[in-house]
Amino acid sequence: MYGSRGARRGASAVVLGAALLIAGCSSSDDGGDEPEKSGAGITQQPKETDPFWVNPEGNAAQQVAAYEKAGKKADAEQIRKIAEQPTGEWIGPETPEEDARGYTEAADEADRTALLVLYNIPHRDCGQYSQGGAADGNAYRDWVDGVAKGIGDRSATVVLEPDAVLHLVDGCTPDEFHEERYDLLKGAIEKLKSLKNTKVYLDAGNAGWGNPDQIFEPLKWAGIDKADGFSVNVSNFYTTEDSLAYGKTLSAKVGNKPFVIDTSRNGNGPYEEGDPAERWCNPPGRALGETPTTKTADPLVDAYVWVKRPGESDGECKGGPKAGEWWPEYALGLAKASE
């Protein structure tokens, strides 16, 4: 069961350059908690509880504006639940330096931290909905170098390669690619941690795929000791309670490293019906989870984050579009179920 497979952004970043700088908004005198409104009127969350950057021109924000223009005020208010929260920005395969620079500059303008997701490891997703990745190891190293150059000294929190270690453990990734992948992940952590203000969380699967005894040594081989911590439940639906238990058990096996939990769509927990192999893909009846914050239920949890962007498809299943594409009907369902 590959819980977060298919939920990635394979395309280049939607909003870059000048648009992002406009979206960044000028800060107020009190530290930037009340930036000027832009687009659909999306502003930043209070920095002391949620330091991550809200993209005021993201897919959800654009949907809010479209619904408002069409007179669908109730739907607009539902989607606003998504639009006003910071979500992960998935760095595109073609323009990593430009993507990383655009997002971190916009976040810096708003006195916030960019939440970036790196998802371009060679042989990604085992040929499933989000298959792809860099052509080879050298191409991946160049790509990571581009990301690092784009981030520079600006503040960034990076979730590194969802499923990459998990798929080494569960047999999904062929044996001949294992040694290189460990080397690439270790190198990526070292490169990103050489930056002045970048935190790195190596992905460590989810509460439903197996148990921490299966993955703690591979995480060590992938360089978890040099990372700030690990991420759990990326693009998945396991409850925060279950994710917390999984993360704490795993943390004890990797030097008590802290972790972040993706709570973007876990409000109603996992889907328990239909084909077990496809339960993770656009399951019906799910809800938004806890909003992003650094004020969590446990000192080992650095933050609840929305790594997966709610409303973007997991893949072409259950009527959904391609992985990573905006799906307004699904977004509405998530928002309405979280009332």
Q: Which residues are catalytic?
A: 125, 163, 314
Asked if 313 and 324 count as a contact pair (C-beta separation under 8 A), the reply is yes
Closest CA to 227 of 193, 196, 255: 193
Q: Which structure tokens are listed for 16? A: 């870059």
**Cα–Cα separations (whole angstroms), residue 268 to 184, 188, 226, 240, 319:** 36, 34, 34, 10, 21
SS3 283: coil
Amino acid at 320: G
In whole angstroms, give the CA distance from residue 248 to residue 246.
6
According to DSSP, the β-strands at 89-90 and 114-118 are parallel
Asked if 203 and 234 count as a contact pair (C-beta separation under 8 A), the reply is yes
Residues 6+ positions from 67 with CB-CB distance below 8 Å: 73, 75, 76, 79
Asked if 130 and 6 count as a contact pair (C-beta separation under 8 A), the reply is yes
Query: Which string of DSSP letters, residue by residue, matches 19-78?
Result: HHHHHH----TTSSSSPPP-TTT--PPPTTT--BPP-TTSHHHHHHHHHHHTT-HHHHHH
Q: End-to-end CA distance of the chain, in Å? A: 30
Task: Give the torsion sign (CA, 169, 175, 179, 180).
Answer: negative
SS3 268: coil
Q: Which structure tokens are listed for 44? A: 């930043």
In whole angstroms, give the CA distance from residue 94 to residue 135.
12
Closest CA to 59 of 337, 336, 330, 338: 330
